[in-house]
Amino acid sequence: MTDETDPKPSDADRPEWAKAHGPLRSFGRIKSRPIKAKQAALFDTLMPRIAVPDPAKGLIDPLALMPGAKAAWLEIGFGGGEHLAAQAARHPEAVMIGCEPFLNGVASALRHVEEGGLQNVRLHADDARAVMTALPDASLDRVMILFPDPWHKARHNKRRFLQDETAVEIARLLKPGGKVRFVTDWLDYADWALERLARTPGLTRVETGADWFAAPEDHVVTRYEEKKLGDTDPIFLEFQKG
C-alpha cells in the first residue's frame, strides 16, 4: 500500500536490471522522512534473514523460502506492512512475500515482523516485477495489490502498476483456484483495473453478490485506508485463476 501522491520521479535511480530492460517505475518516492534508529538497525539484523533472494540470480521457488510452507502469497506494494503482518499472523502455514520500494515502508514492515515474532514473512525492498519474473508458473495461491499509486493524469497512466502485461503475469503465477485482489480508492483506477483483469485469459471475476464497495471478510483496514485520500470509498476487485 503505497502513498498515493503524484510525484514526477526520474528513472535515473532505477535498479540496474530495470535500466537495462525493465518497465517504467510504477511508484514515486523511495524515501521520505529519516528512518528511526531502531528500525534502521533492523535492515542490518533482520532484513538479511528474511530478504527474498536476488531475483536477478535465477528462479525463486516460493515454498522453499520457508520450511514446511503449504501456500505462498504475494503482496505488491505493502506500504507500512500492517496488512502483510496481519495476514501472516492469521496464516502461519503460508509464506508471505512482500515487495515494496519505499524504504520507510520496509522499515515499518520489519518492525511489525519483529514485534509479531513472524516467521513466515519474506521481503523484497524494490520493484515487485523483478520478483514476479523470477517466480515459476502456478506458484502462488494469492496476489494482493492494495492501494497502488494511481497516477491520475492521462500522460502518467502508463506508470500504473496494473497493465495488461502485469495482469497476464499475475495469471501465469497463480495456481488453479488462486486469487488476485485489487483494492483502490480512486474510481478511475478501479475502472482501469476491472477492464484489464476482465480481459486477461485465465482470470474470472469472483462474484460475491455484493457491490464492489463491500470489503471481503478477511480484509485488514490499515492506517492509509483510514486517511481516505482517494475520491471514493475503497473498491474491491477479486479475480480467480480458472
Task: List the binding residues for substrate.
Answer: 153, 185, 222-225
Binding positions for S-adenosyl-L-methionine are 75, 100, 127, 149
Please say whether the beta carbons of 88 and 120 come within 8 A. yes
Of 116, 51, 52, which is closest to residue 85 (Cα–Cα)?
116
Contact 204, 242 (CB under 8 A): yes
Classified as helix, coil or strand, 223 is helix
Q: Which of 163, 140, 213 is nearest to 183 (CA)?
A: 213
How many CB atoms lie under 10 A from the CB of residue 63? Answer: 15
76 has which bridge partners? 99, 145
Which of 137, 141, 149, 188 does the annotation list as catalytic? 149
Place of cell 482501469: 192
| Distances in whole angstroms, Cα of residue 238 to Cα of each of 68, 82, 168, 204 | 28, 20, 15, 9
* Three cell numbers written together for 168: 497476464
Annotation marks residue 137 as catalytic: no
Residues taking part in catalysis: 149
